[in-house]
Structure formats: structure tokens, C-alpha cells
Structure 1
Amino acid sequence: MAKTDRQDLRRSKRAKHAQSTAPTGKPSKGPARERKQAQNAEKGAILKYIREMPLDVLLEIFSHLEPADLIHLSRTTKALRSIMMVRSSRSIWTQALASIPDLPPCPDDLIEAQYANLMFTDYCHECLTNADDDPNLLLLMFMEARTQLCHKCAPCKFKTARAFSGSFQEVKSVVPMTKESFETYSYSEWNPKKYHVDVANELMAEYDKLTPVERGGWLLEQTAKQKAISKHAEACEIFFQARLEQDEQMIASIRLKRQDQVIERLKELGKLSLASPIVVVIKLFLRIQRRSSLSRKWEEVEPEMLEWVEQQKAKHHFKQRVACVESRIREWLIPIYAEFMASRPHQGQAVHPTLLEISFLEEFRAALEDTPLGQSPSAEVTEAAIAKLPELVDRWQQTHDDALLELVKQSHSSKNSEISRETLFHATTSFECESCHEKGLLYPNVLAHRCNFLLLSKSGTAGFVAAPTKYKQKKRKRDEESENKEEVPGAYIKQVFSKVNPLSTDHLRFSEAGYLHTIQVLDLLGLAHDTSSKDLRSKAPPLECHCFCYDVINSSSKAPVRVIHWPKLVSFRPLSLSRCCPQAGDANFRTVVAGGKKNILPGKVTPTFICPACTKTEWNRYSLRHFRNQ
């Protein structure tokens, strides 16, 4: 199709349809249409004035413009384009390029207008998408190929060597090449070489037309051209880096000047004092603002700025109060609590309430938070708080003992036994942590387990949320109650202990396997089942353990043998206990513990395995099937 035919076809596609005069019920667009017509008339008058201007005057005006301005102006109308894109107007582009300091000279393979379009525009040369219109667009400049492409069009114009055939291997060394990743975010450190398709096809076509004698000289000529282009591309890259640094310095100076002006306005309004620490925060806030905010007037930003200053004042006051409460806890509460615990008689209790729980006692909370800044709690307040400590400690101990006893009562082993506080000290009473899977936790040390004081989302993998990556930051949810957090009692104390929670036993459970292990150990030693953990630890000899659930099950059907002590016996980590012998009930037990004896059937050479839950005798080679399938 001829060029004139394509132009006529485009005009026909853009031709407007005849509008109907029938009423549609929609609001009238008369005023908006009139304003648009007025604007178009004004632009038309300006363009008419430019067309009537003498050519020498017009060229003199154009000679004082920068290359980017000339490009935008040449795309305004066809008349201006016909003036600026002719050979006689080459001096305009030459002067515009010369006005840019440190700009590399125009290369021989480009004219000045093409060079300006390559260096001073931000759009894709293939799909014509502008970077200002699409913030997610990644523009890549390939100076050696004399083109600029977006990350969507670049893969179509640059291919790896496998995509070419014919004489590509002979001309590959003179084809523009890149190792750039065409992705917005690249996760790979290695990228293959990619070659420009259009230049490669053009060079291969020229190479195929030459005779074998001419090809050597032609390759030397193309190699020299490629070296000159590469050298010019390096100079352009240095120019872009220097220009970027200049732009950043200019923006930084404008922001510094603007922040000084804003601070002076706030001081005039009485919102800031000369020694206010909020000034530092405001400077940081203005420094990280977007570039578009530099041109905003004070009248536009005044309400937002005043509201933000009040919020920063409240945050600063809150931080001051938190620092004061933390200092009082360190200098006033800790010595009082340490002296009190040293004066109490030793009752075999190894764990005491934490400072967080002591601080939330009303007498201590009022002394820590309500005392004015710069003052210490009075002697009367201190005595009243100390008088409440014995009651708090006893109530705390009783509460957590009851929680542990409730776990014991829910177990399978306590159905036919009497449960009391002394049960916690028995050797058969051990606990497991569902968060970190630690086992063999005995009383009272179980109360000091580290997971007791952590959030559920911080212990183990419960509530796990993936951390924000480098390319996609995690959005923080706004706390609606954050503005009124100072009015909530205990807010300052909670902030001091932000990484610690009150003791909680919600993630603990009674260890059924540890109970059955310990029962067998007590029977082997001839001890009563109510023996304390302290006595058993001192009397327990080394034991030979044939253990299937506490050791890795390999291809062999024979259980591994270990010589261990009782505390280690209840702290091993088992495999999944969901496929144990079903007759064991809730015990989930499939372990044999013996004092060095092996049960051998009469007349048989192979030793057998006896299930402690169902007392069924099986051959060793069938023991795994017994535990998994029955």
C-alpha cells in the first residue's frame, strides 16, 4: 500500500460519525465544549503568530532552546516540523547540543536531531510508551545499537546467539551486544549475551553479498566502526552519571532551602521553639518528600504540615515518658524487687514473676507512670507497693500451678490417679512445648521456658508470615488506637517491655511418652511411681534403651540401642507419633526399655520385639509393620 493510501486510511479511521440530534437524557456538555474550543482557538492564534513570524527571527529564538525543547516543539505541528527537520536548520540543533556542558559530540552515524532524540527523550522507540505515563516502565538505553527500548520490547529486539543462523558466527563480533536483564527486578546474577536483531540481519545480508576475498577487509572496517561506537557509548554513560549527580544535588539544595522556609513559618505561627527537637524530625520529613512536593505553595501544605507537627509532638512526648518509665524500672523497681525476693524463705521455687507482671500491679504502675517527669516515687508510694508484693507473688504462683495441673488432668495417665500440687514434682510429670518441640520440661523449670514469654507468632513457626523482600515492601497497617495510646493505663510499661509478654502456658502439653518412659524406669529400679524428679535424677543408673519412636527409623527393622540416663530419656525428640500402636490409646508409646536384657523365644535364634502397649510378641522384621499398620 502506498504511503498516501495509508495516510488516507488513517484519516478515515479517525473520521467522526454524524452526531444525532435526538435527546439522550444526559447532562449538557456545552460549557466544557465551549472552554475547549476557546483553548483551541488560543493555541491556533499562537501557532498562526509563529507562522507569520520572520524565519530568521524564529531561528534565532530556536537557537537558544535546549535539545529536549526543540524535540517537543518539532512535534507540535507539521509546519514547525517542516522548518526544523530540514538540512538548512542543522545549525539550530548543533547550537542546542553545544549548549549542554560535557555532552559527547554527535557521532558520524547519526544526525543531530536523531542524537538529541536518543539522548534527551524518555520513551520507547518501539512502542512509543512514555516513562512519565507508566511508573512501572523500565527504560533501557542501548547506545551501541542507537536505540532506547522498554523492558517489554527489548526481548523482541535482542536475542541470544541460538536465535540466529547462517553467517551470524562470522559477524557476531561486530553486532551490538548486551548482558542487561530485561526484567523489572532481576533475581539472577548471570545473564547471557543478547544481540540486536535488526543490526545482525543487516550485517549478515551485507556479508553474504561480498566475495570471500572482500569479507576480510569488510570485517576489519566494521570492527573499527564498532570500537568507535563503543568508545562513544562509554563517554555517553559517563555523561549520564554526571548529569544524574547534578540533578540530585540541585534537588537536595532546593529541599534544604524549602525546609528552612517551612520551619521559619512554623516558628512564626508559634508551633515550634528554637530548641525544639521536632525541628530535626521536620528536616528529615521534608528531605524524604517526593520531588513533586517542591513546587507546592505554603497555603497548600499548611493544614497538613500543622497536623503532622502536632502528631510528631505527641510521639516525642510519648517517647520521653517511655524513657522515664524505663529509667524508674531500672533504678527504683529492680532494687526493690531483688531485696524482696532475697528476704523470702526458700520454698523450692526456682521461678518468680517477671518485672513486666510486677510493673502492671496497680501500685507499681501508678508510681512508674503517674509520677511527674524528673521526680522519683515518694516513700509512702514505695511502702504501699512493697506491701502488695507477697500477695502478688503467691497469686501468680497459684495461677500457673493450676494451669499446669489442668494439663495433667487432661492427660490419659491421670484418669485413675489423684492429682494435687505435689504431682507437679513427680518424675512422671513432664511437659512438651508445641512451639519449639522441646521435651522433658520438668517443674518448676518449665515455667522458665523461653517460649512462655514470646508471642505465638514469634515462637516456632506458628503464625509465620513471610518477611518483606527487597523489591516489594510489606505495607504496615495503621493502628487506629495509636493516637490515644497515652490515655490507656500501662501503655508506657507495655512499650518498655515491647519484646516480652506475660508468662503463658497455652503452648505446653503433658508428655504422655515421657510419662510411660519414666514408669518403666521406676519399675526397673523398684521405685514408687510418686518418686520426685530430684530423687530419680540422683538414683537413676545408665539404662539400655531400645527405642523406635525416639530414634530415626532406617531400613533396618532392629531398633537402635543406646545407653542413656533418665533425664535424656524424656527429652529426646520423637518422630511423628500418629502411626503408633493403636492399642496404646492416647499414650502414643512404642518404646522398649530394659536393663540390658533381651527377650528371646525358646527354640528361636532371632530375638523378638515385645510391644509395651499391647504386649504382643512380633519378629523384629515385622516390628515396623506392627507400629505403622495395626
Structure 2
Amino acid sequence: MARRSLRIQEKKGVSSESQTQDAGVIQDSDSIVDRKRAREDEEDQEYDEDPDDGEEVAPKRKKKKTKKVSSKSDVSLHSQDKQSSGSSTKRQRMPEQFRKVRGRLGLLEKLAKEVPLDVILEIFCYLEPGDLLRLARTSKDLRDILMSKSSESIWRIARETLNDLPPRPDDLNEPQYAHLLFEPYCHICRHSGRCETVLWNFRMRACKKCALDTFPSSWDQQYINAQPFAYRDTDVLPIESIKRTSHRNQRVGNREIANRYKAEYEALSTEEDRNAWIDRKRKERRVINEHARLCEQWHRARLNDRADVLSDVRRERKEAILNRLEEIGWRDEAEKIMSGPSYYDTFSDHKLVKQSKKLTEHGWRSIKDEIVEFLSDRKADRVTAERNRILSARLASIQKAFSNIRSESDLREPFPSLGDIFVNKIFDALIRDTPQNEDLNEDFFHLKLLEHLPGIIDEWRPGKIQELVEVMQRSRPTATANDLYLATTIFECTGCYQRSLLRYPQMFYHGCCMENRNPGFAPGLYFWHEGPWSSTRIFFSDARSEIAKTVIEACSLNPATATFEDMYDANPLAECQTCAVDPQSWEGGRLFMRWPLQLTHNLNHTLTMNRFDEQETRKIVACEPSYRSDADSICCAHCHKTHSTMAIVTHFKDQHSDVINLTDYEDSLKFRALRQHWYWNPRLSLRQLGDSFRFKEIFPLPTPSVTFNDLLSSSSH
């Protein structure tokens, strides 16, 4: 028989006697872990004084729940045991304390009791300190060997096999140092997850939450005041920096170390001893800080090496999965996912792919169905996204072509919106059903619009006008389509913050009436600017219609027949007596306005219409702005392009001099004749078709001048 260690042979008898007594304790592994945890604070003693020195037990493992067996099964098992006497005899020979031991029974026991000690020590020298620490927890005999003072050389040799590892500090023994380096759980909450935050100055590991909850801030006044004043502001107590957020660290202290230092300091009686103690602690602090820096540098390098190894394993696993997918025809789909943006590589980030575990045949069979299902779903999403991209490009092309055509079209009658074109069956079929490989650009849609738009308008316009008439008939049951042109026909929009006032056909170009962006046109697509026109947000305004009736009657016109064009020609001047302000103030004076601003003014204010004598009228008109600065307030009746009131005459001279006689156009009668060559932009609401102005009587009478409004319409005063 091989030679055994004398120390092991002597302990064999004691160990065999205690096995029977400890049988019940060994069965409960959780109680053993709890007992070991209670001894963790005794690690700073010598090896031979206590076999448990230097060991920190890992977090306890959860107990597995066993299913209850019914009485029938117990009976059947009992009968089977009777039938198989061989297995029954073998089970009876199994010692009770080893009934629940996992793995091959007795190998470590044989190693510790039968293998010569010098061979064991030679084997241990090839291990890392972390391996020695875990090995010491597997067997009582191995623990006795490794935790003895005589085994210190084994730990030192094992530690020296690690490259760039700083030497062991004087305040830690070898198992304690190995525990600090290799046990990756939090020493405060004992959570089993990996905790890679090492507080080297405190000789412990702690997760961020535990560290911030346990250790006081280095600026905490209560913590500072608890220290003796003699070394309060010196570099005596250790300090650690904990990463609180991505851009902020917090410096913390350790109350336990601070209390121990305080007790040591106060135990000294003379001032000379205390000063020497402070100098010694400051030197120790500098040594510990330098050692902590080297340990942190080694720790980060080790983590980086481990990360590189895991990254290589994950890369090999992904390549192995791709090779398996190639065999079943799914690799191309996976590569299409990986070829996209890195932040959207859902294949590489999949939980079954991004694992640091080598792929085996059994492992592939267990994940194959889920991977294929994932790729199938991504393929469906990709096809849908590709179709939506093509639809979006086609919608953008038709939008540009339609905008160009509408900018040159007559808008004095209702004109379809972009959404109405999208949902038209002709263009809906072109956009949806044309093969995706065909390029439908702007020129293509321009030709198609020129071909089909007249028919679309003829089909669309009567229905929408009737829809608007039905809105008006809720207040005027006898109203007809001809009443839309009357000056008393005013609508309001409920979608606007200020409730825009609209006349016919302004509502057909009002944005709120085209906001019903139907997402059903294509999954994930919306009408970006205009949806199909709808009258759901507008209603007939009785109050504004009454104001219009009053203004019309003040101009000696018939409200039942007067149109907006008639009122533009009448161009009545009105004054709001309620808005009059002291003329000596900066924005003071009497407030005047032209048609149709009377309709948009406050309903509770008092208006005076055309009650000014000739001299007063001249003074008022002299204060009126001679033009509007809006660049799109007027449309040319020939080319339908928008212009400002100042630029319209220049436009006529440059573009339409062949059809418009502009000789002596400065004359008011000649210019009034130009009224047939332009019209107000119907895209604007009534509030945008004029500006109110103030008249200050204290100002000297300016030189009489002809205003733009005088040139546009006949004077009614």
C-alpha cells in the first residue's frame, strides 16, 4: 500500500469516529454553509490555530424541491426493491452521510488519504490560488492540508504562477488574499451573482448598491466628527471611489476601520506614541494605495482577457450556428440582418446566439426551432419594411408631381387633396400593385396625373360640395349649393386654436380638414401632409353670418344675393368703438378695418360702418397700409401662381402683358379693371385677408395719397 502522510494517518481514527456523530449535519448542506459563514470573520488568525482560517465560503446554494410521491408509487417502489435484491443490498451498504453527495464518490477522499503528501503538494503547485481555495472546501482532509501553516509555500507558488499579480500584502494571509482576488460575490449582501467591484483599500468586494448604502461619504460630517481631531484631516483612513453614475464617482469611508483606528489611537497614552502611530498609519496608507493601484490594474487586465476569451467563444458559436443555418437554407436571412446597422443586429444579440458556450449537436437541436422561428419573423418584418420603403418612395414622387400641378391650377373651385389622390382606385393600384422592381418616379406620376386628374376632379367635386351643403343645411335647411357663394355663408373650424373662419372654397385647402391620416393605406405608413378631405371639423357659423348680414345691409346690398366678390368691390370701412385707445399711447388711436375683417372681430364689440365725412375719410385712409407684405396673398387668374399685393402688377407686366393692357395702370379706374385678372388666395383664412390699422387724430394730416385698397375697389364714401 502506498505511503501516507503521518498526520493524515493520525487523524484517520479521529475522523472515522466523528463521522457517525456528524452524519445528520452533513446531510443538511445549507446548515453547513451557514456555520462556515459565521466563521468568516476569523480569517486573520494563524493557519494552525483554527482549521477554518482564511476561508470565505461562497453564497449558499438553494435547496432543490423534491416532489411528493404518492402512496401507490411508494408501494410499487417497495415491491421493485424486493425484486431487485442486488441494488437493495448496494444501497444499504452506502453510508448515510454520502447518500446525497453528487459526482463520483470518494475520489477526493482517496486523494487526501491514500496519495503520498509530497505528490499532493506537487499537484497543488500547478493550481491557481482560487482553485486551492475551492478545493479546500471539498473535503475536511483537504481543508486540513491546505489551511495549515505548513502549506503556505503551496499558496505562494500557486500565486506566483499568475503574471503581473502584486505580492501579498502584510495584513492578509494567503487564503485571505486568494479570497479577495477570486471570490466574485458581494461580501455584504452575499448575492451569488458576479461582483467585479473590488474595494482594495477595504479588503472586500461590494456591489454598487451595497457600497453606497453601507459606507458613509468621505464628506459626511457625522463620519468626520467621529474621528479624532489629531488625524482627522490627514491621510490616515482609507478612502474608496465608487462609480455612482456614468459621469460621477463618490468617495466613501469605512466606519469599521475608522472605529478600529480610533480605538488604537486612544489606547496610546503619550503624545509621542500617538504622533508615531499617525506617521506609521500614513506610511501604511501610501503602501496600501500603491498596492491597490497595482491590484486594480491586474484585475482589469484579467477581466479584459476573460472578456476576449468569451468574445472568441461567442464568435465561434455564432459561426457554428450560421453553418448549421446554411444547411437548412436560412443563412442568407441571418446575414441580411447582420449587414444592417450594428445597433439593429438582432441576430447577433439573440439570447441563443450571444452565449459564451460552445455549440454542440445536442445544443443545436434544442435551439434550432426557435432560431428558425426568429428568422422567419424577421424575414416577414424585412419584407414588409422593404415594401413600405418602396411605397414611401412612390408616395413622395406622386406628392411632388401633384404639388407642381396644383400650384398651376385654378383653386377658385374645390380641388382634391393629396390624400384624395392616394386613395383613388387608379393611383392606389399604381402604387400598390406595380412590381417593386419598377421605378415609378416623379415624371411617371406627372404624366399619369395629367391624364387622369380631370376625371378624378369631375367625380370627386360634386360629392364633396354636397357634403359641405349638408353641413350648412343643419342651420339652414333650405340651403343649396348656390348659397355657398353668398357673403353670409361663413364656416368655423373646431380643429384650430382660434377657430379659423372660412368661406367657400377656403375649407377645401384648410389643413384641419385634411388631418384624417388613414394608417390603413399601408402598414406603418401615414399621409405625411394631407389626408383625404373631410368636413367633420367644420360647422356653419350663425353668429358670423349675422355680422356679415349687418355689414352687407350697411353697404345697401341685399344679404340674400350679395356675394363675397360684391363685398370686395364695396370694400366697406368699419371702426370698432370698443377697441379705441388713448391716441397719446404708443399703440393708441381709433381702430379701423376693411372687409372681411369685420367678420373676424370680437362678437361683443361695437362696429360703426361708413359713417365718416369726406374729410375724415381722407385722414383715415391716409393711415391705412398701402399694401400687404404677405408673399402669397394674391393669385394670378391666368397662371394661378401666388404673389404679394406689391408684386402682382410687376407680374402682369412681365408675364401677361400680351393679354392685359397696363397703359396708365396707376389710374384707379384702370386698376379696378384689373380685378378680373387676380383673386384672393383661397388657401388663406378670412383673418389673413387684411390688416386692421389705427388712426391718431393728433398727428398732422399727411399728404393725400391713393392707397392700395382704393386702387383695388371703388370707394363707397
TM-score w.r.t. the length of structure 1 is 0.62
Aligned CA-pair RMSD: 5.5
2:435 corresponds to which residue?
Answer: 372
Residues 1:44 and 2:110 aligned together: no
The equivalences for 1:359-508 within 5 A come to 359-375=422-438, 389-390=453-454, 392-393=456-457, 414=475, 422=484, 428-433=490-495, 437-440=497-500, 442=502, 491=522, 494-495=523-524, 497=526, 502-503=531-532, 508=537
Deviates more, 1:117-126 or 1:268-277: 268-277
Per-residue CA shift, 1:558-611, capped at 9, x if unaligned? xx9996868999999xxxxxxxxxxxxxxxx89545679xxxxxxxxxxxxxxx
- Structure 2 equivalent of residue 107 of structure 1: 169
Report the alpha carbon displacement of residue 309 of structure 1 after superposing the two structures with TM. 3.4
Report the equivalent of 1:474: none
**CA-CA distance at 1:424 after TM superposition:** 9.5
Identity %: 23
Matching residue within 305, 308, 315 for 2:374 = 308
Q: Deviations over 1:221-253 (max 9, x none)?
A: 222222222222233333333333333333333
Match among 124, 143, 157 for residue 200 of structure 2 = 143
Q: What is the deviation of 1:539?
A: 5.6
CA distance in 2, matches of 1:70, 1:63: 9
SS of 2:315's partner is helix
Which residue is equivalent to 2:299?
240
Q: Tell me how far apart the structure 1 counterparts of residues 133 and 288 of structure 2 sit (CA, whole Å).
A: 24
Change (3 A) 1:346 1:228: same
The one-letter amino acid of 1:353's match is: S
Deviation sequence 1:72-97 (CA, Å, 0-9, x none)? 22233333222222222223332333
Pair 1:87 & 2:186 matched: no
Decide which of 290, 306, 310 is 1:251's aligned counterpart. 310
Q: Which residue number in structure 2 is paired with residue 617 of structure 1? A: none
CA distance in 1, matches of 2:598, 2:359: 72
Residue by residue over 1:106-137, the C-alpha shift from the partner in whole angstroms, topping out at 9 and shown as x without a partner, is: 222222322221222221213322115xxxxx
Question: What amino acid sits opposite 1:302 in the alignment?
Answer: K
Correspondence list, 1:45-444, <5 A: 45-52=106-113, 53-131=115-193, 140-155=197-212, 157-160=214-217, 161-164=220-223, 165-172=225-232, 173=234, 174-178=236-240, 180=242, 193-210=251-268, 211-272=270-331, 277=336, 280=339, 284-290=345-351, 291-292=354-355, 294-297=357-360, 298-329=364-395, 333=398, 337=402, 341=406, 345-349=410-414, 352-354=416-418, 356-375=419-438, 389-390=453-454, 392-393=456-457, 414=475, 422=484, 428-433=490-495, 437-440=497-500, 442=502
After superposition, the C-alpha distances for 1:377-418 in whole angstroms (9 at most, x for unaligned) are 8x99999987664454466556666666777777xxx58996
User: Given that residues 266 and 272 in structure 1 are in contact (C-alpha distance below 8 angstroms), is that contact kept between their aligned partners in structure 2?
Assistant: yes
Q: Deviations over 1:128-159 (max 9, x none)?
A: 22115xxxxx7743221112223454355312
When residues 336 and 285 of structure 1 are mapped into structure 2, their CA distance, relative to the original with a 3 A threshold, is closer
| 1:310–1:46 distance in 2 versus 1, CA, 3 Å | same
- Letter aligned with residue 213 of structure 1: E
2:8 corresponds to:
none
Please give the alpha-carbon distance, in whole angstroms, between the structure 2 residues aligned to 1:422 and 1:563.
30
Q: TM-score, normalised by structure 2?
A: 0.56
TM-superposed CA distance for 1:201, in Å, is 0.8
Deviates most, 122-131 or 61-70: 61-70
CA distance in 2, matches of 1:110, 1:38: 38
- Map 1:565-576; keep pairs closer than 5 Å: none
1:353–1:396 CA contact under 8 A, matched in 2: no
* 1:281 shift after superposition: 5.8
What do the CA deviations read for 1:187-211 (whole angstroms, capped 9, x no partner)? Answer: 9x77765321101111111222223
8 Å contact 2:238–2:253 — kept in the other structure? yes
SS at match of 1:237: helix
Given that residues 367 and 381 in structure 1 are in contact (C-alpha distance below 8 angstroms), is that contact kept between their aligned partners in structure 2?
no
Runs of 5+ consecutive residues of structure 1 not aligned to the other structure: 1-6, 17-21, 133-137, 458-487, 548-559, 573-588, 597-630
Of the two, which has the highest radius of gyration?
Answer: 2
Kept in 1: contact 2:402–2:446 (CA 8 A): no
